[in-house]
Structure 1
Amino acid sequence: MQSTRFSTSSSLLLLGALATAACDPTLDPAATRVAASDEGVNDQECTTLLPANVPGLQAQLPTQTMGADFDFDTGNAPIEIVIPAVLPVIAGSVAPGDATIVLRFTTMLSNAWFDATAPYHPTAVGVYSNLGRRPASESTTHANMNIAILYASYRTLNSLAPQHAADWDALMVSLGLDPHDDHESTTDPIGIGNAAAAALLAVRENDGFNQLGFEGGREYNPIPYADYTGYEPRNTRFEIKDERRWQPAIVTSRYGITRAQHFVTPQYALTLPYSYDDPQDFGVPLPDKSLKKGSHAKKKYRAQADEVLEVSANLTDEQKVTAELFEDKIRSLGFSALFVSLSSGHSLLDFVHYDFLTNLAAFDVGIVVWQEKTQYDAVRPFTAIRHIYGDDEITAWGGPGQGTVNDLPANEWRSYLDVADHPEYPSASAAFCAAHAQASRLFLGTDDLGWTVPIPAGSSIVEPAITPAADLNLHFPTFTDFATRCGYSRLWGGVHFEDAILASFELGDEIGAGAYEFVQAHIDGTPP
């Protein structure tokens, strides 16, 4: 195990950079959401969610300290350089809750780091390359590992976001590195980083996710990440033809400009997994309530919709801000993992291994989740509530700042969170968190987490200046508690029925355990 530990100041840099980049609307056009549609697209502003129980962790340091000030011998390039540079690019392209693309970036990057540093570990081998073993004398400092990481990151980022090639070049130059040095070898860190990335990209650029945009027989004008499966919703944005099935929501800006949702990246279900061979070896139970199967079908369909309305009518401030926290996968999954590495005193290699594991676990469970979402194409709560109650008056949350009202026309009800652009069952967020938690428990050898997120009064994204009414702390003592509250935050947010959450818990546990076995085997040098 690498003995040099990355410093508290290094970790603060990352957390500060994440907070600054994610909350600066000049960097993140998605950070301020458009005004409410009938489906509930909230007018959101950003809030910083940093752990409270590590001294100094509230600091927000500028990303300008990257580059010339980076210490190759003691620093952590993923934390101090790569993530602060990448986050604004992700945030400027997708919202933090758009998990499929976010996970694509984070998993491929952390895979590149893992494979590029494997030669500097006593036993590890890469997932897509076996570049031999470097002498222990070459890893007495972080210098060689950081250089390998940076070149692997550079090549991977040029594949993931080629439109930012000039930015990636400038980043390398600011570090005194030559972005045009593309030689591959097994004897020096530049060549190792390039070789690791090349092997990764040879597989992952054509893994079914349609990163390059040519899937489905397209020859010209590629559309990266576009659907090629031919998915068509059974309902239109205006008409419910089948009350059991997903309906695209209408997203409306404050200026009256509207668009209809499209199922985001349905081809994710066809993407090559890491830790298992066939996603069809996994699955979740039939959502009988949503699909109106079995005895008392109509009663059960209505009962689960009524449960969502009851929760909506009784939302607490803590439930609201918890739902907002887990809506943002960077701040919840990402920040919690960084907190673990900081509080555990992880070395550079420890961090690389843990970060890759948690990203891989979420990525792999997502493939099965998208497979099941496609299969069941299940209804979201907003559609079911409108179908059942029409323009009847109901009791529920009345919108930002309105509290609970008892004269709300059902066809004007909206969920507290924005409704996601994919079918309801099973819950993606619950599965991501369950897989993340299970992989973490196994890697760390404990269920203890001890993460506290301070929420200042009035810092809500959905209800700014109103919620919470007073400062509060969200404390997650264990990974089990973290995963459970993550899952139930989808019910509190009004975007999922409980059955979708429960199904994802079991699925996430199973695939999280498999992800741990896969990564640990590569660390031990005994891959399957």
Structure 2
Amino acid sequence: MNRFLFLSLTFAILLMGSPSKAGSKEVNWSKLYAEELFHITEVMVTDVAPPPVAARIYAYTSLAAYLVSKNQGARFENDDLLEHSYLGSYDWGITTSGQVSSPEFAAVMAFLKVGQEIMPSGYLLKEKQQDWIRRGLRDKIVTKKTLQAHLDLASEVAEKIMGVAKKDGYLQLSTLTRYTPQKGEGFWYPTPPAYIAAVEPEWKTIKPFFIQNLEEYKPAPMAPFDMSEGSSFHGQLMEVYTTTKELNQERKLIANFWDCNPFKVEFSGHMAIGVKKISPGGHWIGITGIAAQKAGLSFAETAYVHALVGLTLHDAFISCWKTKYETDRIRPETVINQKIDQRWKPLLQTPPFPEYTSGHSVISRASAVVLTGYFGDNFDYVDNSEIYFGLPERPFKSFLLASEEAAISRLYGGIHFRDAIEEGIKQGEKIGDLVWSKVSKNKY
């Protein structure tokens, strides 16, 4: 058995939750949702989807499952995600009629169909769709008589979701002016070992779901580039340099646990080999699935909370990427190699985009805020989402504490300055507060 298959099976075994009835079989819907959604993640890993692109994919795929549940009469603990985002202006009426006995079956098929359409290697999901049909019939989730009605509903929802996705600006990205690194000190420049070109420099043009004015979510100004001793920038630079030289095993573990760099490359002789890693958003989607299973959520609520986090991730990445390319700040690795130590390397491989603000800090805090709003304070859980990538599970006492660890991991990894981390947390908190204030029935 190859390592990829072994880890996939291990991941599936670890996904646990509470069961409910479907036909003559017991179906654990929150566990099943996570299993099937992970097929989306596998394709994204294959495609090496950039972090903001991955968040967009999770947003639209999870929306498909939520829309099916909503259309089939599900009631949710919190307010309608569609109504409180710009999606409320769309006509989401479903015309497909027929006997739909399992909204859950149709919802899974809907997000697999969206995944097929929205990803370059989405064709890989055709086989997963056939597997899902076979499982549905085998476990009596659907019958041969009602199968087509479920497939028709899934197809119509997927078509509506893709209709929206095609209008969010993504298809226009390739027509925009290409990014060229600026000349002069302090500006970002491609980093070793692969010197990959800047990733998604015009992501700020993508339409957010909840944020109406991106300017309202700008962080405080970063420390200006200044190599004078005593300057804020020089102090932060030396902090990165000294911190990475004094890492203990726990800090190394933290840095690697939150690495989530889909662009990591290793060299063997003259060959460059891409290392398979989950995206930062994928890590938080994994956490969402773990929490849903621990809480014993119904399928509808599982679909809701995944869509909530998916939409939040999408908006958080747009805000963060706008900041990154407006500040265009140099990475620690570049300036340390130029000014301090030519042989120094960070613990983690530097990802291919500007430094300020820290993407992990922004999206982790935004996700943690909405998850805390949904599940409550001090919701402890064990994060096993990185077992698939060969890392051990890690316990957390709350989502907010996990987000703080994710943020500081970037300093331990040697790829971010402290102000990018701290201001990134504030930026993410503000976005998370915005989203939760819109959808929470218990407004605060």
TM-score (norm 1): 0.65
Q: Does the alignment pair 1:272 with 2:226?
A: no
Tell me the residue number matched to 1:200: 161
Q: Does the alignment pair 1:433 with 2:364?
A: yes
Tell me the residue number matched to 1:256: none
Q: How do 1:116-515 and structure 2 match up within 5 A?
A: 116-119=68-71, 120-122=73-75, 124=80, 126=82, 127=87, 128-131=90-93, 143-161=101-119, 163-165=121-123, 167-176=124-133, 189-210=150-171, 215=172, 226=174, 228-234=176-182, 241-252=183-194, 260-289=195-224, 291-292=225-226, 299-328=231-260, 329=280, 332-389=283-340, 410-451=341-382, 474-515=394-435
CA distance in 1, matches of 2:282, 2:11: 8
8 Å contact 2:33–2:299 — kept in the other structure? no
Pairwise CA distance, 1:455: 9.7
Tell me the residue number matched to 2:55: 103
AA in 2 matched with 1:302:
H
Pairwise CA distance, 1:325: 1.4
AA in 2 matched with 1:347:
S
8 Å contact 1:77–1:149 — kept in the other structure? no
Tell me the residue number matched to 2:139: none
Distance 1:201 1:491, change over 3 A: same
CA distance in 1, matches of 2:256, 2:10: 10
Question: Taking every aligned residue pair, what percent have the same amino acid on both sides?
Answer: 18
CA distance in 2, matches of 1:518, 1:308: 38
Distance 1:50 1:478, change over 3 A: farther
Pairwise CA distance, 1:230: 2.8
The secondary structure found in structure 2 opposite 1:411 is coil
CA distance in 1, matches of 2:257, 2:186: 29
Pairwise CA distance, 1:227: 7.2
8 Å contact 1:70–1:175 — kept in the other structure? no
> What's the CA shift string for 1:124-156, capped at 9, x where partnerless?
574454337999xx89xxx52123213422431
Number of residue pairs aligned between Structure 1 and Structure 2: 392
> What value does the CA root-mean-square deviation take over the aligned residues?
3.8
CA distance in 2, matches of 1:81, 1:419: 31
Pairwise CA distance, 1:363: 1.3
Distance 1:355 1:175, change over 3 A: closer
Pairwise CA distance, 1:337: 1.6
Tell me the residue number matched to 1:85: 39
CA distance in 2, matches of 1:58, 1:84: 11
Distance 1:387 1:440, change over 3 A: same
The secondary structure found in structure 1 opposite 2:102 is helix
CA distance in 2, matches of 1:351, 1:231: 39
The secondary structure found in structure 2 opposite 1:106 is helix
Pairwise CA distance, 1:117: 1.4
Distance 1:70 1:115, change over 3 A: farther
CA distance in 2, matches of 1:75, 1:437: 23
Distance 1:116 1:473, change over 3 A: closer
Distance 1:122 1:333, change over 3 A: closer
CA distance in 2, matches of 1:420, 1:154: 29
Q: Which has the higher contact order (CA 8 A, sep 6+)?
A: 2
AA in 1 matched with 2:192:
I
CA distance in 2, matches of 1:414, 1:364: 32
The secondary structure found in structure 2 opposite 1:424 is coil
TM-score (norm 2): 0.77
Pairwise CA distance, 1:78: 6.0
CA distance in 2, matches of 1:233, 1:382: 16
Unpaired runs of 5+ residues, structure 2, are: 17-22, 135-147, 261-279
CA distance in 2, matches of 1:422, 1:488: 19
8 Å contact 2:320–2:359 — kept in the other structure? yes
Pairwise CA distance, 1:232: 1.2
Unpaired runs of 5+ residues, structure 1, are: 1-19, 28-45, 60-68, 178-186, 216-224, 235-240, 253-259, 390-409, 462-471
AA in 1 matched with 2:382:
W
Report the structure, 1 or 2, having the larger helix content. Answer: 2
Name which one, 1 or 2, has greater alpha-carbon Rg. 1
Pairwise CA distance, 1:170: 3.1
AA in 2 matched with 1:278:
N
Distance 1:332 1:85, change over 3 A: closer
CA distance in 2, matches of 1:270, 1:288: 26
Tell me the residue number matched to 1:40: none
CA distance in 1, matches of 2:96, 2:81: 12
